[in-house]
Structure 1
Amino acid sequence: MLHVCTGLAISTTAGCNSTGTVTRPVAPSLISEEKALALPPPGGPGIVGVVERPRANGVEQVISLATTARVSGQNYLRVEFFGPAVSRGQSAPFRSIHERIILREAAEAIPGVNLVRRSTYLQNSYGPFAYAAGRSTLGDTCLYAWQQIRAGTASDGIGRNFGMIQVRWRLCDSYASEEQLLSAVYNYTITGTFEGKAWNPFGEPRPADPRIGETGQPIYPVANAAPENLSIGYAGGVDLRPITISVRRTAPVPVKPALAKPTADRPVEGPRVPLPTSLPTGADKAAAAPQASNASALVVKVPSPRSISAPPQ
């Protein structure tokens, strides 16, 4: 049978060498959030889903994030690991960041929004990064950030620190400001890395502080703080905390004016009573005076409540 296979045409020789194992082609797949190689900061934006694409020299993940903006498109955090041959599929070439290409990426990720490249130098825990931002016609704030994580130089001059991570952020929000969106780029966490020191993309760890263990080198709880600027002291049990005094405002109490003291030439004036237009005459006084003789003769009869309409008896 082996002799038959060797005598077949060239087009059939590949079938004789095949093992016949059924395999699944390399394609993007949906994975769980726990397997994400990068995580947004605590508090959001939340992860909606993670799509992973294996490559021959690494892996790419698109981590979809919650979106509240009215701009078309999905927020995401995309990470690409470039390193040794670790998987099947097509290899992705190492790419460096070019200004024109990255701005084209931003325009494709957030269409219809005029993004302006920010020229301020920024740096997070993984190194420098840059971004472009703008506002849509509907009032959404949008941001597109990019970062390349790679050790600057080899540690000892031989094959080390060859790995590289490319990071892309696409964020649009109807309520957040540009600074709030930028805080996500500062506080995200990369959870994946390469096995082996030769492909470490983060470089060598920083050496320990040379002051450790040395005499005459005090180390304070605040980093890089001068002793004269530290509020550290002991006052022998005296409470040095600032005293807070609360002032309560009340309505003013009206004060009555004091009466002037009478003097010999200035008596105290009382309230003025208006005088009548005409003084009463003697006849008016007599009519107004009560008649004592007739007061006892006048008797007022009150009718009974049950017979109000009846004339008094």
Structure 2
Amino acid sequence: MHPIRTIALIGLACLGTGCTTTGQVHQSIGVETVSSDKALAFPPPGGPAIVNIVERKHAKDVEQTISLFTSSSVPGQNFLKVQFLGITGSNPGLGSRPFNTISEGAIAREMAAAVPGVRLARSAVLVQNSYGPFGYASGQSRTGDTCLYAWQQVKAGFAPSQEQRNFGMVQVRIRLCDARATERQLLGTVYGYTIAGHFAGAALNPFGGPRSADAVLGKPGEMVYPDATPYRTAPIDIGYQNRPAAIRPAIIRRPAVIQPQPQIQPTLPPMIGPRIPLPDGQSDSSQTNGAGGPTSMVPSPPPVNTAGNMIVPLPDCNREAAISGVCR
């Protein structure tokens, strides 16, 4: 057959085949939105609230990006990202991809992509939550919003090869920006979040074995207090110590003003004495009343001095002697 005719026939066959295709679009496998109750990690009680969850599956590995409520002018969305990875270099059949180790360059690229336009400073202080140590960087945008980016790797550690356990690992990333919150408030989310997922196989447990109870529990002679502060560290007043007497305020009493009482002059009985003869031609008006009859001698009231003391009158004999010089 002629070569040109052969090419033409092949072209016609291809055109005929292309006309019969439907051109349908299929959804990618492994990426879907799940409800909040399917989350593999939760923010602490009180927020920030979960907006939606996008889950990506790749063989035995699972990754969830949990979008959180955002109130900030910084571009981007707050999120809590968690990755469950179940592979090590010595056991490539347990998972689908190798571990992503944390490095300086990888963290710098992640922060630049998650918090664009904000300069974040890494903290040099060692901090850890209930899952172990974690790192974070924080800063403020030009508009005053506070931003924080935290990273954590949860892994039990390398177990001996003969034990064949603790091969899993959980990678956590947290991005938070808020217009009103402080760095300490944003850091509270890193301390309070909860990982709700786990591996189906016990060999992939990334959290390690449960911590044993304290050795002092149930041991005689060891004190166990309800809090960290021991009791009776300082003397307690049970009534044996001397208490200082209460000081009462002094009461100032003013002396009462005593009004002087008026003195009552005593009333003396009338004094009757003998008649005293007078010279001729003179009459004693004190011995007669207005009717001309005889009267008794009535002494005048005793004088009172200015000091208020009474002067006692002299007896009759002394009185007569004072007048006539003769006392009978």
Match of 1:171 among 173, 176, 183: 176
Q: Are the counterparts in 2 of residues 155 and 204 from structure 1 also a CA contact under 8 Å? A: no
TM-score by length of 2: 0.59
State the Cα distance separating 1:93 from its structure 2 match: 2.2
Deviation at 1:137, TM superposition (A): 0.6
CA distance in 1, matches of 2:210, 2:162: 16
Which of the numbers 38, 52, 57 marks the counterpart of 1:54? 57
| Partner residue of 2:133 out of 128, 150, 154 | 128
Residue 70 of structure 2: which of 67, 72, 77 is its match?
67
**1:77 corresponding residue in structure 2:** 80
Once the two structures are TM-superposed, the CA of residue 132 in structure 1 deviates from its matched residue by 0.8
CA distance in 2 between partners of 1:201 and 1:235 (Å): 53
Alignment of 1:233-272 (within 5 A): 235=238
Q: CA deviation at 1:24?
A: 6.4
Which digits, 9 at most, give the CA deviation of each residue in 1:166-198, with x for residues without a partner? Answer: 000010000000110000000000101112321
**1:149–1:166: 8 Å Cα contact kept in structure 2?**
yes
1:94 aligns with 2:83: no
Deviation, structure 1 residue 128: 0.2
Sort the Cα spacing of 1:211 and 1:67 in 2 relative to 1 into closer, same or farther, 3 A.
Answer: same
Flag the 1:57–1:74 CA change in 2: closer, same or farther, 3 A. same
For structure 2, the residue ranges without an aligned partner over 5 or more in a row are: 1-25, 89-94, 240-328
Q: Aligned equivalents of 1:146 and 1:179: distance in 2?
A: 16
User: What amino acid is aligned across from residue 211 of structure 1 in structure 2?
Assistant: V
Does structure 1 retain, via aligned residues, the 8 Å contact 2:86–2:167?
yes
Deviation string 1:1-35 (CA, Å, 9 cap, x unpaired) is xxxxxxxxxxxxxxxxxxxxxx9642310000000
Deviations 1:23-73 (A, max 9, x none): 964231000000000000011100000000011131000000000000110
Aligned equivalent of 1:27: 30
Q: Percent identity among equivalent residues?
A: 53
Q: What TM-score, normalized to structure 1?
A: 0.62
CA distance in 2, matches of 1:162, 1:171: 30
Larger Rg: 2
1:152 Cα shift? 2.1
Tell me the distance in 1 between the aligned counterparts of 2:237 and 2:42.
44
2: CA distance between counterparts of 1:31 and 1:158? 36
Q: Which residue of 1 aligns with 2:225?
A: 220
Count of matched residue pairs? 208
1:204 pairs with 206, 209, 230, which one? 209
Structure 1 Cα separation of the partners of residues 218 and 56 of structure 2:
49
Q: Which residue identity lines up with residue 190 of structure 1 in the other structure?
A: I
Q: 1:199 to 1:66 in 2, by over 3 A?
A: same
- 1:186 equivalent among 186, 191, 204: 191
Matched to 1:55, the amino acid is H
CA separation of 1:155/1:183 partners in 2, compared to 1, >3 Å: closer, same or farther?
Answer: farther
Q: CA separation in 2, counterparts of 1:156 and 1:192?
A: 25
Deviations for 1:175-222, whole angstroms, at most 9, x for unmatched residues?
000110000000000101112321110011111111122111121111
Gaps (5+ residues) in structure 1?
1-22, 237-313
* 2-structure distance, mates of 1:41, 1:234: 43
State how far apart, in whole Å, the 1-side matches of 2:30 and 2:213 are: 44
**Residue of structure 2 in register with 1:282 after alignment:** none
Q: What is the root-mean-square deviation in Å for CA atoms of aligned residues? A: 2.4
- For residues 229-250 of structure 1, the C-alpha deviation after alignment (integer angstroms, 9 at most, x for no partner) is 489x7959xxxxxxxxxxxxxx
Structure 1 residues 70-95: Cα deviation after superposition (integer angstroms, max 9, x where no partner): 0110000000000169xxxx933211
Q: Residue type of the partner of 2:104? A: E
Q: Which amino acid aligns with 1:75?
A: N
Q: Secondary structure at the residue paired with 2:220?
A: coil
Q: Conserved in 2, the CA contact under 8 Å of 1:121 and 1:128? A: yes
- Aligned equivalents of 1:157, 1:218: Cα separation in 2: 41
Displacement, 1:103? 1.4
1:112-154, Cα deviation, whole Å (9 max, x unpaired): 0011111111100000000111111111100100000000232
